[in-house]
Amino acid sequence: MFGLPLGLFIESAVAVLLALTIGYCVVLNRSLARLHADRDALRLMVGDLVTATGLANQAIKELKSTAVEADVTLSARLEEAERFGVQLANHINSGNALMQRIAKITAAAGRSSQPGMREIAPVAAAPVDSGRESNKVRAALEQLSTRVRNRGVAA
């Protein structure tokens, strides 16, 4: 009789261990199902990330091309402004030379038409005229810069 309970005890221990193994397999199966679901979600997320990366790369390429175009346009406008500045300086110098010649001519004409009058030094007359002319030049430069700004806004 002693052998029967020992066999029953061993078989019940094996049954309990089998039940525990089946329970653990169920828990493991649920964990694997969640892992597979997470893997699918991760696969979708990686796909979205790849799409977003492609869009970002395209946007960067477009930004680079826009920057290059802006640089070329700005360089062309700066070169044009420099040429225009040189031309303007040449015109100002020509205008000043012309004003000095006119001042000398008027001073010489004044001396020759009125022999009894005291001579007026051309140096005294030149600063007044050059002051007026420099104001006119400044006003012309302001108008020019306004036109350039307006042209830049219109472009």
As given in the structure block, the two tokens for residue 104 are 């000398």
On the question of pLDDT at 106 being above 70, the answer is yes
**Contact at 8 Å (CB) between 126 and 144?**
no
Q: How far is CA 75 from CA 79, 135, 147, in A?
A: 6, 31, 19
Predicted TM-score (pTM) of this structure: 0.42
Single-letter code of the amino acid located at 59: A
Q: Report the distance separating Cα 81 and Cα 151, nearest Å.
A: 12
Q: What is the mean pLDDT of residues 77-94?
A: 91
Position 129 confidence tier, pLDDT thresholds 50, 70, 90: low
As given in the structure block, the two tokens for residue 148 are 């350039």
On the question of pLDDT at 119 being above 50, the answer is no
Q: What is the mean pLDDT of residues 16-36?
A: 95
On the question of pLDDT at 133 being above 80, the answer is no
Q: Report the distance separating Cα 88 and Cα 147, nearest Å.
A: 14
Single-letter code of the amino acid located at 49: L
**Contact at 8 Å (CB) between 129 and 99?**
yes
**Residue 146 pLDDT:** 76
Residue 39 class from Cβ within 10 Å (0-12 exposed, 13-18 middle, 19+ buried)? exposed
DSSP string, 76-145: HHHHHHHHHHHHHHHHHHHHHHHHHHHHHHHHHHHHHH-TTSPPPPHHHHHHHHHHHHHHHHHHHHHHHH
Rg (CA), the chain: 48
Using DSSP, state whether 155 is helix, strand or coil. Answer: coil
